[in-house]
Amino acid sequence: MTFRRAGIAVALLTFFIYAALIASLTTFLSFDTVASLFSSARTLHAIKTSVFAATLVVFIAGLVALPAGFALSRHDFVGKRVVDTMLELPLFVSPAALGAMLLIFFSTSAGIWIQDNLQQFVFTVYGIILAQFVAVLGVSVRLCKAAFDEVPTRYDDMARSLGAGSFTAFHTVVLPNARRGLFAAAILTWAKAMGEFGATITVAGTIAMRTETLPISIYMRLASADIEGAVGAIALLIVVSLTVLYLSRFISAR
């Protein structure tokens, strides 16, 4: 077997592993289960909460990730390696640990003051948004940096030699050339936020019709032995995520 065929075989094996897991859902999935799922006010609330929180998190993370990713891609500054390394925190620290760190912060004097005078986060929808933001921010900055790295620095230099300022060169030259990578970064950030569970449940809890996202709904249904409901919620989450990812790749390809 050639190396090419071996690589294709491994790729197909990986595909079939996940395909088999998805296919196993049909054992408990039926039309009645799907119908009851979409007719449930609790499920519809979980869907709305998940989509709203993930979409808002993408925009908030983008406001931070775009300038931060550009700075890490284009500029050298004191402590750059430390900052770049810290972005890996959500990758090697579990989401539950991130959520616990947020809870510990809100137990400090600064955190208590924020909750008493500015906004309550623990056990609220704002806690969902904050937990997802913390969980995806490092990945979002990393993806934006990778998108900017794909644009040669000579484009910036050429724009500046023609009289453009640093911000003008950024939004007229670099940003348009990095748009596909940035679009992919936004979609991946959204998908990660949609599936975030550990930090969300730690900060926002499992309050039905209030802080229940789709991943939390799956957990709560499994905890109450509602296997069919959990399978339906899993299938719904998979369909939404895969559809968005496929459309993003289709648009990027065009």
Structural domain spans, the chain: 32-253
**Cα angle value 118/122/127 (rounded, 5°):** 85
Q: Give the domain 32-253 fold.
A: MetI-like fold (1.10.3720)
Mean predicted confidence (pLDDT) in 49-62? 93
Instruction: For the chain, give percent helix, strand, coil, nearest 5.
Output: 80, 0, 20
Both tokens assigned to 58: 């993408």
Q: What is the pLDDT of residues 58-99, one digit of tens each?
A: 999 999 999 999 888 888 888 888 888 888 888 788 888 999
Mean predicted confidence (pLDDT) in 4-20? 89
> Is the Cβ–Cβ distance between 89 and 220 less than 8 Å?
no
Q: What is the pLDDT of residues 149-189, one digit of tens each?
A: 888 888 877 887 777 777 788 888 888 888 888 888 898 89
Mean predicted confidence (pLDDT) in 207-223? 87
Residue keyed to tokens 């990730």: 65
For the entire predicted model, the pTM comes to 0.86
Task: Give the best-scoring range by mean pLDDT among 23-37, 135-149, 150-164, 232-246.
Answer: 135-149
Dihedrals phi, psi of 158, to nearest 5 degrees: -65, -40
Task: Give the other-Cβ count within 10 Å of 32's Cβ.
Answer: 10
